[in-house]
Chains A and B, each alone.
Chain A
Amino acid sequence: MATIPADGVRSTLAKKKGGFFRRPEDAPVDLREETLRLEAEGEWIVQRVAEPYVELPTKYGGKKKVPLEHTWHHKSCGQCGHIPGYSTSIFWLHRALELDYSDPKDQTSCTAWNYYASATSNAAAQAGVAMRNFAAAYESGYYPVIHCGTSFGHYKEVREEMVHHKELRDQVRAIMKRLGKPLVMPEEIVHYSEWVYAVRGLIAERRVYDVSNISVTVHPACHYYKLVDEDAIYDPEIYGGQRTAIVSGVAQALGAQVKDYSTWFDCCGFGFRHILVQRDFTRSFATLRKMEVMRDEANPDVTLTHDTGCVTTLDKSQFAAQGHDHKVSIPVMSEAQFAALAMGAHPYKVCQLHWHSTDYRPLLTKMGIDWEKAWAEFEEEIESLRRGEKEYLTWDDVDAAVPARSVALAKRGYTPSRFDGQS
Chain B
Amino acid sequence: MAKYFDSSPSKIKYDDVPYEKKEELFQQVKSDIRFDDYLYGCYECGICVAACPSARFYDFSPRRIAQALAREDVELVFQQMNEDVWDCSQCFSCLRCPRGNNPGGLITIMREVSINNGLRTAKEALEGYSRIIYKIMSTGTQVSPDMLQPEAFPDWGPEVKQVSDNLDLWRRALPPETMHTTTTSWEVDEKTIVELYLIWSMTGVMDLIRNVDKNLHMILTDVMEERLEEAGYEAN
Show the binding face of A for B, using Cβ within 8 Å.
75-82, 84, 87-88, 91-92, 103-109, 111, 113-125, 128-129, 132, 136, 153, 160-161, 164-165, 167-168, 171, 174-175, 178-179, 181, 222-223, 226-227, 229, 265-267, 269-274, 276-277, 279, 281, 283-285, 289, 316, 319-320, 349-350, 352, 354-358, 378, 381-382, 385-386, 391-395, 397-398
Complex CA–CA separation, A76 to B178 (angstroms): 12
CB <8 Å contact, B187 and A105: yes
| Interface assignment of B185: CB less than 8 Å from any CB of chain A | yes
Q: Identify the closest chain B residue to A135 (Cβ).
A: B195
How far, in angstroms, from A259 to B136 measured CA to CA in the complex?
38
**A229 to B97 CA separation, bound complex (whole angstroms):** 13
B189/A81 in contact, CB under 8 A: no
Interface assignment of B121: CB less than 8 Å from any CB of chain A: no
The contact string, 1 if C-beta is below 8 Å from chain A, for chain B 71-98, is 0000000000000001001111101100
- What are 18 inter-chain pairs, A to B, with CB distance below 8 A? A75-B185, A80-B185, A81-B148, A84-B174, A84-B179, A87-B176, A103-B178, A109-B185, A119-B114, A120-B208, A121-B203, A122-B204, A125-B199, A161-B33, A279-B155, A350-B175, A382-B166, A385-B173
**In-complex Cβ contact of B53 among A91, A266, A356 (8 A):** A266
Whether A77 lies near B143 (C-beta < 8 A) is: yes
Chain A residue nearest to B33 (CB atoms) is A165
Cβ 8 A contact of A105, one of B86, B111, B189, B208: B189
On whether the beta carbons of A354 and B162 are closer than 8 Å, the reply is yes
B142 lies within 8 A of A395 (CB): no
Q: How far, in angstroms, from A381 to B171 measured CA to CA in the complex?
A: 12
> Is B45 part of the binding interface, using a Cβ–Cβ cutoff of 8 Å?
no
Cα of A78 to Cα of B208 in the assembled complex, Å: 25
Complex-state Cα separation, A91 to B115, whole angstroms: 39
Looking at chain A's contact residues, the main secondary structure is helix
Q: Given contacts A108-B196, A393-B172, is CB(A120)–CB(B133) below 8 Å?
A: yes
- B-side residues, CB < 8 A to A, are 32-34, 37, 51, 53-54, 56-58, 86, 89-93, 95-96, 108, 111-112, 114-115, 122, 125-129, 132-133, 136-137, 140-145, 147-148, 153, 155-157, 159-160, 162-163, 166, 169-180, 185-189, 191-193, 195-196, 198-200, 202-205, 208-209, 212
State whether A81 touches B144 (Cβ < 8 A): yes
Expressed in whole angstroms, the minimum distance between the Cβ of B131 and any Cβ of chain A is 10
Contact A222 B185 (CB under 8 A): no
Contact of B132 among A106, A117, A122 (CB under 8 A): A117
Q: How far is the CB of A335 from chain B (nearest CB, A)?
A: 19
Residue of chain A at shortest CB distance from B86: A273
Extra inter-chain contacts (17) besides given A77-B144, A82-B163, A266-B53, CB under 8 Å: A80-B186, A81-B141, A81-B142, A84-B145, A103-B176, A114-B133, A117-B90, A118-B125, A119-B112, A125-B205, A179-B199, A276-B132, A354-B162, A355-B159, A356-B159, A382-B169, A392-B172
Q: Is the CB of B90 within 8 A of A116?
A: yes
Taking a contact as CB atoms closer than 8 A, the residue among B133, B178, B198 that contacts A75 in the complex is B178
Among A75, A84, A109, A124, the residue within 8 A (CB) of B136 is A109
| Complex contact A227–B92 (CB within 8 A) | yes
Residues on the B chain within 8 Å of A106, using CB: 188-189, 191-192
Indicate if the CB atoms of A354 and B169 lie closer than 8 Å.
no
Q: In whole angstroms, how far apart are the Cα atoms of A92 and B179 in the complex?
A: 14
Contacts of A266 in B (CB 8 A): 53, 93
Q: Cα distance A222–B155 when bound, in Å?
A: 24
Task: Assess the B57–A285 pair: CB atoms within 8 A.
Answer: yes
Task: Please give me the residue from chain B that is nearest to A160 by CB atom.
Answer: B37
Selected contact of A108 from candidates B96, B127, B140, CB within 8 Å: B140
Minimal beta-carbon separation of B182 from chain A (angstroms): 10
The residues of B that contact A393 with a CB separation of less than 8 Å are 172-175
Residues of B within 8 A of A120 (CB): 115, 126, 133, 205, 208-209, 212
In the A-B complex, the 4 residue pairs with the closest CB atoms? A319-B157, A119-B111, A108-B140, A267-B91
